[in-house]
């Protein structure tokens, strides 16, 4: 038989704001847009269990720092919760959740309400799915949680501090919403760095877009999109700029002729090379050499 426990956990933190404070917050034009009603931390919450067949009048934020648990929304499939994951349970949604029996979770959580939350969460793209966080992201979440908890613990009566908590909640939600985008950016950066490294290795040769596609194993359209988004240039345009940058270094550091530099960078026609150098760098190879450096 599954043991279920609804309250009282070792080394727990828990604050539930009284009705009179909630009334004060809902009467404030800014605070009432987003505010915390309950907040807490449960460490290794063995047998932790909640069931709300009619849902809750607040949104519920759960960050699992270690251990495991589960969340079930309405008639949907059960979501398995693991360490360093964040989930938000929507308000007025039937749900249940609890700790894994063998490896109970430790969770930071809070309930929050507000007039603007439906629009805010929709705008941020935050739904009830799990978000996996990195160690730096996890540390930031705990830092923001502790800010709110400490202020609610010591100064929940202060309007100024309640304003700060309200703004902190908004920031925390926006910070979480950027996690998937940061992961996409990291993946995009990996493709770009791989392609640029290959370009640098092939400055003396002649690369085509097909060569770069074969190297990165993504489509031409995707590669073009990533390069323009990241560097402002198409891949081959960027490759030519790397060649001209290298040409400038050779002009600065050696006595090689324009023709020799041209050939060393894969250009058989030194006149075409000179025109391209001037187009990209802004001056001809000869004028570039006359400029004082350093």
Q: Which residue has the tokens 């270094």?
A: 249
DSSP bridge partners of 42: 107
Q: Which residue spans of the chain are classified as CATH 2.60.120.280?
A: 13-177
Q: Which residue has the tokens 């929940």?
A: 156
pTM (2 decimals)? 0.64
Which is the CATH superfamily of the domain at 184-290? Homeodomain-like (1.10.10.60)
Angle (CA) 108-87-159 rounded to 5° is: 55
Q: What whole-number distance in Å separates Cα of residue 177 and Cα of residue 197? A: 31
CATH code: domain 13-177 is: 2.60.120.280
Tell me the pLDDT band of 123, cut-offs 50, 70 and 90: confident
Q: Which residue spans of the chain are classified as CATH 1.10.10.60?
A: 184-290
* pLDDT tens per residue across span 186-200: 777 788 899 999 999
* Residue, of 131 and 163, whose pLDDT is higher: 163
DSSP bridge partners of 132: 85
Q: What whole-number distance in Å separates Cα of residue 173 and Cα of residue 60? A: 12
Tell me the pLDDT band of 158, cut-offs 50, 70 and 90: confident
Structure tokens at 179: 């996690």
* pLDDT tens per residue across span 259-292: 999 999 999 999 999 999 999 999 999 999 988 6
């Amino acid at each position: 038989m599954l043991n279920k426990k609804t309250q009282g956990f070792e080394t727990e933190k828990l604050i539930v704001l009284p009705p009179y404070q909630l009334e004060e917050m809902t009467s404030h034009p800014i605070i009432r847009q987003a505010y915390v009603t309950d907040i807490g931390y449960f460490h290794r919450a063995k047998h932790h269990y909640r069931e709300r067949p009619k849902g809750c009048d607040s949104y519920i934020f759960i960050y699992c720092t270690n251990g495991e648990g589960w969340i079930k929304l309405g008639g949907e499939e059960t979501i398995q919760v693991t360490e360093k994951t964040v989930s938000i349970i929507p308000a007025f949604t039937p749900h249940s959740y609890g700790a894994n029996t063998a490896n109970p979770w430790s969770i930071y959580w809070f309930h929050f309400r507000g007039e603007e939350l439906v629009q805010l969460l929709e705008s941020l793209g935050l739904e009830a799915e799990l978000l996996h966080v990195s160690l730096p992201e996890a540390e930031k979440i705990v830092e923001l949680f502790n800010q709110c908890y400490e202020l609610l613990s010591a100064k929940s009566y202060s309007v100024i501090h309640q304003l700060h908590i309200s703004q902190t909640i908004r920031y925390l939600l926006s910070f979480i919403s950027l996690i998937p985008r940061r992961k996409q950016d990291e993946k995009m950066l990996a493709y770009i760095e791989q392609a640029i490294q290959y370009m640098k290795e092939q400055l003396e040769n002649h690369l085509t877009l097909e060569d770069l596609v074969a190297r990165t194993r993504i489509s031409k359209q995707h590669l073009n999109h990533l390069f323009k988004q990241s560097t402002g240039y198409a891949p081959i345009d960027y490759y030519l700029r790397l060649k001209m940058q290298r040409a400038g270094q050779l002009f600065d550091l050696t006595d090689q002729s324009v023709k020799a530099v041209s050939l060393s960078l894969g250009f058989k026609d030194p006149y075409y090379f000179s025109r391209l150098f001037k187009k990209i760098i802004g001056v001809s190879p000869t004028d570039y050499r006359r400029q004082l450096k350093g």
